[in-house]
Chains A and B, each alone.
Chain A
Amino acid sequence: MLDLSVKYLGLTLKNPIIVGSSDLSSTVEEVKKLESNGASAVVLKSLFEEEILLEAATKAEEARIDQMFYAELSETLDYIDLHIKEDKLAKYLKLISDAKKQVLIPVIASINCITPYEWTDFTVKIQDAGADALELNIFLNPTDLSDKNFEQTYFDIIGKVMKKVKIPVSVKISPYFAKPGLMIKKLSETGISGLVLFNRFFSPDIDINSLEVKSANKFSTETEQYNVLRWIALMSDKVKCSLAASTGIHSGESVIKQILAGADAVQVVSALYRKSPGHINVMLKDIEKWMNKKGYNYISQFKGKVSQESARNNAAFERMQFMKYFSGIE
């Protein structure tokens, strides 16, 4: 009997496949469907700061059209973004508590944030609603050309949230740092329980007929897993928290690779959009087949195996591979 259970953020998961934050986890019904298809945990759809603001503008316009809140003089309309935030939060808290009542797997709340202000107080309510953990998707724009201390904001947000909640906190980051390795290491030392590598930014494309910017692939492709694999491999034995791999993980084989590199768990989304939630079961079966073939009974028997063997001198390893491929040096 194979045991696929893993430890992630101090929680015991029945297998390493977590469904990442997306529309797939935006209702209790969806969450139930994911559980019945084998997901070991779900990260609920994020509360977005920007989304709230955008919605505020739309709502303000709608209120004007509906002749609500007497536009010229209304304090309610003037602060409508805050009120929408309240409403949205109430709905989100209900999603957490309802999901917790109806599924057995851990429910991880998610906040997509860019500042350490206003919203951090909400985290207590998220904890009180019963979330098993909180994932902070810190979404700072790497194209920002100002000289503000980009990295410091991460620590400010984490510091503020960690003061407020007792549930495990994980942080989902982008790969865009001057020294990603150092940043990952330092973040892991803040007391958080896990890091998710990496979030996926909107990718622009250009339509050469209309000469307009359009969205490139909405969903990740399998080739995107390799950058994640690199950083999981490089950092898994240097961090003081769990690591989850995210982006480009579409098959059982990809899950195995990330675990061999040292990941504690993986997050999948695009593969489920492309196929269906039933694909989780397919991935799990592939993992089991491979484990049987290799004679593994537990995930821990192969977790980090390749990373540990090949990463004794990571910097040299990375450079040697580069020279081998591009300069013909053996």
Chain B
Amino acid sequence: MAINPDYFKEERNKEWRIQLRQGIKNKERVSRERIKMPEQDPDVRNKNSKEVNLGLSEKQAVTESQRCIDCPDPTCITGCPVEINIPEFIKYIEAGDFLSSARVLKQTNSLPAVCGRVCPQEVQCEVQCFYVKKMNKPAVAIGHLERFAADYERSSGKIFVPETAEKNNIKVGIIGSGPGGLTAAGDLAKYGYDVKVFEALHELGGVLKYGIPEFRLPNDIVDVEIDNLRKMGVSFVTNFIVGKTASFSDLKKEGFVAFFVASGAGLPRFMNVPGENYVGIFSANEYLTRVNLMNAAKQDFDTPVLFGKKVAVIGGGNTAMDSVRTAKRLGAERSMIIYRRSFEEMPARIEEIKHAEEEGIEFLNLNSPVEYYADKNGRVNRMKVQKMKLGEPDKSGRRRPIPVEGSEYDIDVDLVVVSVGVSPNPLIPKSLPELKVTKWGTIEVNPDNMQSSIPYIFAGGDIVRGGATVILAMGDGRKAAAGMHDYILKTVKKK
């Protein structure tokens, strides 16, 4: 469903764009430094759950937008899985028309405030920016500007609700209310369908809520996006597990003609080292869900969570960073990352690693757990770690960690969070034996329209990719919505 490149050209050739380009010479634009995102002070923010990044001011946003030279061949768009018209939304900021900027974002991205915060722009749109590719300079801060425009629209109270086609009374189901599910719901509502989202948990938002802490993505931002979908006519049901609460055939009997499965990859993995079952050892999924979604850290809520003073988080990805920084905010005196490779190989975003370091997180890189020990009540109180060294790159180009014999030592811990990856949620594939799954346990789909081996079932996001980013899941949601629309036109409507 690629957008016609001519459309981008036509938009670029509009008079207001031409005038803006002529307003500031490119030489001057490229001479400016990238605006730094204002942040809470590390010593203050590591004791609260408010957002770390404070967002650009109007003046900062306009100044940053002026760095964009409005390239005739905007390579940045090629790095965006949902093909946002990036130069256009940035130029609207330069023109001071922030609401129009937000509307451009919403043409193809139903969650811009979310993406502006959690998308890895440095490996997607920004890495394709002219500044990076041709000048070896920091990219235009596309993500920060996206967040600015989305936040401006939200705080203005003039939130744009996309137009929807006349209701066609055809029922479609979305399984999972994470980024993929919400995006597909929005697009299907635009086509005029009667869209219902089934969420297994008691709160909507999927990984956006349970997985990402409020200091990176406040829950109310997700709620605003969900409310917007409600305004478009999408309905939501929580505590509903498709495959258990009701089967696909039950739902088909109720009139649903097609489904988009976006049930995510919520099954945590462990390392299988001795003692991993002791009390006080959590998967990152469980730990973050308790804190983020169930308010476990708040005194007036019943959900328990352990408050560790000496916390070890195993892993080096974004979820590990989220967990270790959460533990610090919950009062840990020592909050450590234990990672078996070095900074260079860490999968977490550089920004998250930098924030964690500033907040006083200790990094025990080139270390790996060997065994956990517990007190007489079975609560973890110590762990043995072994030092690692990096071997030569393997077939996949990654340097394999090799244990250093005799280098084991003990660390006192009272809480451990294991963050070494997740598996696709097996519930849907198990409930539909005829559904084809890949050797990775993910649902096999036609990549052009996200249709599975069962024609009325489409799928996307982590349940198809194993582990995706928010924006990739959203891209899948858009593609699946178009695929479902096409399928319904060809089959259901014919009947």
Contacts and interface: CB of A to CB of B under 8 A. Distances in A.
A85 B440 CA distance: 14
B241 to A, nearest CB: 23
Contact of B398 (A60, A69, A82): A60
A79 B421 contact: yes
B274 interface: yes
Interface string A68-99: 11101111111111110110010000000000
Contacts of B419: 75
Contacts of B468: 70
B396 A68 contact: no
B316 interface: yes
Interface in B381-417: 386, 394-396, 398, 400, 403, 405-406
Given A57-B400, A117-B386, A76 B269 contact: yes
A117 B341 CA distance: 17
Contacts of A79: 269, 271, 315, 420-421
A139 to B, nearest CB: 16
B422 A73 contact: no
Contacts of B422: 75-76
A267 to B, nearest CB: 29
A66 interface: yes
B120 A73 contact: yes
A121 B271 CA distance: 11
Contacts, number: 123
A74 B398 contact: no
A269 B152 CA distance: 73
Contacts of A80: 421
A70 B271 contact: no
A118 B273 contact: yes
A57 B395 contact: yes
A73 B348 contact: yes
A53 B400 contact: yes
A115 B317 CA distance: 27
B441 to A, nearest CB: 9
Contacts of A120: 274
B44 interface: no
B320 interface: yes
A80 B394 CA distance: 13
Give the secondary structure class of A's interface.
helix
B347 A75 contact: yes
A53 B349 CA distance: 26
Given A57-B395, A115-B403, A117-B403, A69 B467 contact: yes
B472 interface: yes
A60 B469 CA distance: 18
A122 interface: yes
Contact of A122 (B272, B317, B442, B467): B272
Contacts of A58: 395-396
Contacts of A230: none
With a 10 A CB-CB cut-off, give which of A60, A76, A120 has the most chain B CB atoms: A76
Contacts of B75: none
Contacts of B479: none
A152 B59 CA distance: 68
A73 B394 contact: no
Contacts of A63: 440, 466
B370 interface: yes
Contact of A82 (B265, B269, B274, B349): B269
Nearest to B348: A73
Interface string A114-130: 01011011100000000
A324 interface: no
Contact of A74 (B345, B370, B400, B421): B421
A73 B349 contact: yes
A85 B269 CA distance: 11
**Candidate in B269, B318, B348, B370 with the most chain A CB atoms within 10 angstroms:** B269
B274 A121 contact: yes
A73 B120 CA distance: 9
A83 B465 contact: no
Interface string B274-295: 1000000000000000000000
B323 to A, nearest CB: 11
A86 B422 CA distance: 12
B388 to A, nearest CB: 11
A76 B467 contact: yes
Interface string B319-334: 1100000000000000
Most chain B beta-carbon contacts within 10 A, residue among A61, A117, A121, A153 = A117
A265 B318 CA distance: 54
A64 interface: yes
Most buried by A among B420, B421, B438, B469: B421
Contacts of A74: 317, 347, 421, 466-467
Closest 10 A-B residue pairs measured CB to CB? A76-B421, A75-B317, A57-B394, A60-B396, A79-B420, A57-B395, A61-B396, A68-B466, A69-B467, A74-B467
30 contacts: A53-B400, A56-B394, A57-B395, A57-B396, A58-B396, A60-B396, A60-B398, A66-B440, A68-B442, A68-B467, A69-B440, A70-B465, A70-B467, A73-B120, A73-B123, A74-B347, A74-B467, A75-B320, A75-B419, A75-B420, A77-B467, A78-B315, A78-B317, A78-B345, A79-B421, A83-B269, A86-B269, A115-B403, A118-B272, A120-B274
Given A75-B347, A79-B269, 15 more contacts: A53-B400, A66-B440, A68-B466, A70-B465, A70-B469, A74-B347, A75-B319, A76-B467, A78-B316, A78-B345, A81-B400, A83-B269, A117-B370, A121-B273, A148-B405
Interface of B: 120, 123, 265, 269, 271-274, 315-320, 341, 345, 347-349, 370, 386, 394-396, 398, 400, 403, 405-406, 419-423, 438, 440, 442, 465-469, 472
